[in-house]
Structure 1
Amino acid sequence: MDRLPSRLWIEALVRRAQLSGASAFIVQHGDDDRGDVLIKVARLDGTAAAYVPSTNLEGERVFLNLEIQGVGPDEVSVDDYVRRAKSRDSDLWIVEIEDKEGRAFLTEPVED
């Protein structure tokens, strides 16, 4: 099955976050159809997490918590990663979610 266009997927993510009482912002608008995605979740206490899509062994779309690669939990290291990713890929969607509970609002599984 084909994936949704990136723009529609991002709009749904932002809406889920907002309906749950969190704030969500599109920091960088990527390619509408096939742009990659980077999600930053700021917990508003100086910590944050970064998530990127991947594919598991079964071929299903999952998201990776980049803390396994040393990105976070301090917000400064997440911001540094986001800055580098932004400069590497102009088609990248970057979404920042601000939520004290640290919810990412992803419907896909997250692998830590």
Structure 2
Amino acid sequence: MRLKSEIWVHALLRRCFAQGLFGAVLRKGAEEAGSIYVVINRLDGTVKLLGPPPGSSIDEMGDRIWSEVIPPVTSAAEVQPFIDRLVRFDPDIWVVEIEDRTGTAGLTVLPGT
């Protein structure tokens, strides 16, 4: 059984806060099953956008897995047009931003993405 998107997002933020990271919900989506996208600000001038990978988004341990949706860019403003296109396609998405110098925010990112 998968967690509701809203619960998962709040758990991610709580975990980030516990690790000393800052995060915020930029866009609320459908509480039950909206897709989740994570903007990671590396605080070095680069930003990347993680989203659900093609195919299964759950690994064999039951954890969510992520892929880079677009190549890293130099500002959050460069990510916004892509997010706007996603919202036009699926208005139920969640967008969360995390500030993390490691670039993963503790998420499992598929290699090669």
Query: 1:53, CA displacement in angstroms?
Result: 1.7
Note the residue ranges of structure 1 that are not aligned, 5 or more in a row. none
Moved over 4 A (4+): 58-61
TM-score norm. by structure 1 comes to 0.78
The number of aligned residues is 105
Q: Which residue of 1 aligns with 2:79?
A: 78
Whether the aligned pair in 2 keeps the contact of 1:41 and 1:98 (CA below 8 Å) is yes
TM-score of the superposition, structure 2-length normalised? 0.78
Task: Tell me which amino acid in the other structure corresponds to 1:79.
Answer: Q
Q: Distance in 2 between matches of 1:44 and 1:79?
A: 17
Given residue 90 of structure 1, which amino acid in structure 2 is its aligned partner? Answer: P
How high is the sequence identity, in percent, across the aligned residues?
32
Matches within 5 A, 1:18-57: 18-54=17-53, 55=56
RMSD between aligned residues? 2.3
Alignment match, 1:91? 92
Q: Which runs of 5+ in 2 are unaligned?
A: none
Q: Secondary structure at the match of 1:50?
A: strand
